[in-house]
């Protein structure tokens, strides 16, 4: 594998995580539990789609095969996507959406903090920019975890159920395969194992405040970053990619 090839794959993982989660959040637009939250989720979606655009543009440039960020976003089938399974999970109730977001946000903050020192200058620049946004996203989702967990009997039960359902998807965020290790050797990427202690500390602190219990690590599902997805991704792509596929080159 050429170095550029590994870098391209890694950039796809970063871009695909942001884009798929951004799309999932955008599904709440017009359906939020309250107007403020509807607006908040749309704004976070916008940040994530913006970050995805930067990552995928850099991926396309690295690949050098004449594709651009739009080609990558709209003309790839499910098995070519490299996002973790966590982000493609359906929105479920508001508690599921916020727990998914919180587990992701805490990781994103640590990841971008690490990547802002990458030897790939564009990676460092995108990470430094995204870090500022991710800190606000984490603040938002973290406050909701506390509010729901330490709220009513029902909100607590729903938050705990969501945590129990999604916990096993969080481990994939930290997987270090041969590709990551190769890029870590060049100081382009940061190892997931290095991010885990800070993630654990932050998650534990918020769960403590929220009076929620941390689920046990006795199950895990992964494969997304290798292109093995749940059936949910196909439905998501069918909606997200419909227009550019039905009307190639459409402009407005």
Partner 1 sequence: MTAIVTSAYNAKIRGLLDEVYDPELPGLTIADLGVLRGVSTDNGQVAITLTPTYSGCPATQVIEMQVRDVLLRAGLQDFRIDTELAPAWSSEWITERGRAKLRELGIAPPVGRRGDASDYCDPEVECPRCGASNTEKISEFGSTACKAHYRCRACLEPFDYFKCI
Q: Which residues bind partner 1 (CB under 8 A)?
A: 36-37, 39-40, 43-51, 53-54, 121-122, 124-126, 128-133, 135-136, 139-140, 142-143, 146, 206
* Cβ-based nearer residue to partner 1, 85 or 188: 188
What's the min distance (Å) between Cβ of 216 and partner 1? 26
Tokens read off for 236: 């998501």
Look at the alpha carbons of 53, 59, 62, 67 in this order and tell me if their dihedral is positive or negative: negative
Q: How far apart are CA 187 and CA 6, in angstroms?
A: 13
What's the min distance (Å) between Cβ of 133 and partner 1? 6
Look at the alpha carbons of 204, 208, 212, 215 in this order and tell me if their dihedral is positive or negative: positive
What's the min distance (Å) between Cβ of 108 and partner 1? 12
- Helices 3-26 + 35-63 axis angle, to 10: 160
Do 87 and 100 contact (CB within 8 A), yes or no? Answer: yes
Q: How far apart are CA 37 and CA 245, in angstroms?
A: 32
What's the min distance (Å) between Cβ of 31 and partner 1? 16
What's the min distance (Å) between Cβ of 115 and partner 1? 12
* Cβ-based nearer residue to partner 1, 128 or 161: 128
* Cβ-based nearer residue to partner 1, 51 or 170: 51
* Cβ-based nearer residue to partner 1, 126 or 237: 126
Under DSSP, the state recorded for 119 is S
What's the min distance (Å) between Cβ of 38 and partner 1? 10
* Cβ-based nearer residue to partner 1, 74 or 136: 136
Enumerate residues 6+ apart whose C-beta is below 8 A from 58: 11, 122, 123, 126
* Cβ-based nearer residue to partner 1, 50 or 234: 50
Do 188 and 118 contact (CB within 8 A), yes or no? Answer: yes
């Amino acid at each position: 594998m050429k170095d550029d090839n590994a870098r391209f794959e890694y950039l796809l993982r970063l871009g695909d995580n942001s884009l798929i989660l951004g799309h999932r959040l955008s599904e709440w637009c017009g359906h939020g539990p309250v107007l403020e939250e509807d607006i908040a989720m749309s704004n976070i979606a916008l940040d994530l789609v913006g970050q995805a655009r930067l990552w995928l543009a850099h991926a396309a440039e690295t690949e050098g095969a004449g594709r651009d960020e739009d080609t990558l976003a709209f003309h790839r089938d499910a098995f070519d996507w490299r996002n973790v399974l966590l982000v493609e999970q359906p929105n479920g109730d508001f508690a599921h959406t916020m727990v998914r977001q919180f587990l992701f946000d805490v990781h994103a903050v640590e990841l971008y903090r690490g990547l802002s020192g990458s030897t790939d200058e564009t990676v460092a620049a995108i990470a430094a920019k995204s870090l500022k946004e991710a800190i606000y996203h984490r603040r938002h989702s973290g406050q909701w975890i506390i509010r729901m967990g330490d709220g009513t009997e029902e909100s607590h039960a729903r938050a705990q159920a969501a945590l129990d359902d999604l916990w096993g998807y969080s481990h994939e965020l930290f997987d270090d395969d041969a590709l990551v290790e190769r890029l870590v050797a060049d100081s382009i990427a940061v190892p997931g194992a290095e991010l885990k202690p800070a993630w654990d500390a932050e998650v534990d602190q918020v769960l403590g405040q929220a009076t929620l219990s941390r689920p046990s690590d006795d199950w895990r599902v992964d494969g997304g970053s290798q292109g093995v997805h749940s059936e949910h991704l196909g439905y998501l792509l069918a909606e997200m990619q419909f227009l550019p596929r039905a009307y190639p080159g459409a402009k407005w």
